[in-house]
Amino acid sequence: MSPYSSCQRGCVIHLPNALRLSLYVGRHVEGVSHPFRPNMKLPRPAAFLLLLLALSAVASTAHDFDFFYFVQQWPGSYCDTRQSCCYPSTGKPASDFGIHGLWPNYNDGSYPANCDPDRPYDASEMSDLMGGMQANWPTLACPSGDGSSFWSHEWRKHGTCSESLLDQRSYFQAALDLKKQVDLLKVLQDAGIRPDGGFYSLRGIAGAVREAIGYTPGIQCNVDESGNRQLHQIYLCVDAWGKELIECPVFPRSKCSSRVEFPPF
């Protein structure tokens, strides 16, 4: 049905719920002062204008998740968890945190996944990002690969759930930019926390990151062969545009102990 179906002396606007909501929200933004009543009669030009406002509000605010987790993994711990790992076909990665993913999330801790099977990973959109991807988002799973199956998995499972705001290239670019924005290894090393096989207090690790970026990180641990808890993944929270760090609305589940090992890689 047309949203403005009966336009003789006035227009009756039939809007889907999402449009109604954004029209209501947009009312404040756009400074429209009268309250919105669904199906109210309006002069035709005003109805068109309102419809345009509603559509632009939807275009500018619609996204179906609340924030991103930007997750980085410590390769030494990844290898210890699996009791093995395989270096990428492009060579041993640097001794640095690597990107695991940029994951759309809801404020209640749940998250969307596999949102658009019609938009598969397209390597051809990534050619100029390849150097950065290999250096910052290396794959450690076996058998060895060049990373494309890891990136394709991350795009399919997580990236397709933020495509209302970030297309594939922008999604991976946003993750690379975030990695550059926060050098986690340097932040920890500056606080005397080094990947030397020593044990460090979890509070100290979280505190060092908080001190450097202004926000508390989520920290996940794994257990190595000897039963030691290790620093495995650090979660930072990012706004839905993938740009600004934010305070985490909710933290991931964590199995860390009060002191955790930071193994070498």
Residue 157 makes contact with ligand 5GP by CB under 6 A? yes
Number of residues that bind ligand 5GP (CB under 6 A): 15
- Span near ligand 5GP by CB under 6 A; candidates 36-44, 124-132, 138-146, 174-182: 138-146
Subset of residues 61 to 80 that bind ligand 5GP, contact rule: CB under 6 A: 69, 73, 78
Interhelix angle 17-30/44-61, rounded to 10 degrees, is 100
Residue 153 makes contact with ligand 5GP by CB under 6 A? yes
Q: Using the rule CB under 6 A, which residue among 4, 48, 87, 111 binds ligand 5GP?
A: 111
Residue 86 makes contact with ligand 5GP by CB under 6 A? no
Active site amino acids: 100, 154, 158
Minimum CB distance to ligand 5GP, residue 179 (Å): 14
Cβ distance to ligand 5GP smaller for residue 44 or 243: 243
Q: Using CA of residue 153, residue 158, residue 163, residue 167, what is the dihedral sign?
A: negative
Separation of CA 261 from chain center: 27
The amino acid at residue 6 is S
Measured from the Cβ of residue 185, the count of other Cβ atoms closer than 10 Å reads: 17
Measured from the Cβ of residue 188, the count of other Cβ atoms closer than 10 Å reads: 23
- What does DSSP say about strands 11-13 and 4-7: parallel, antiparallel, or unpaired? antiparallel
Minimum CB distance to ligand 5GP, residue 93 (Å): 9
Identify which of 139, 156, 155 has the alpha carbon closest to the alpha carbon of residue 147. Answer: 139
Q: Using the rule CB under 6 A, which residue among 50, 140, 221, 231 binds ligand 5GP?
A: 140
Q: Using the rule CB under 6 A, which residue among 97, 150, 155, 262 binds ligand 5GP?
A: 150
- Span near ligand 5GP by CB under 6 A; candidates 4-12, 134-142, 188-196, 239-247: 134-142
- Span near ligand 5GP by CB under 6 A; candidates 20-28, 37-45, 99-107, 176-184: 99-107
Which positions touch ligand 5GP (CB under 6 A)?
A: 69, 73, 78, 100-101, 103, 105, 111, 139-141, 150, 153, 157, 252
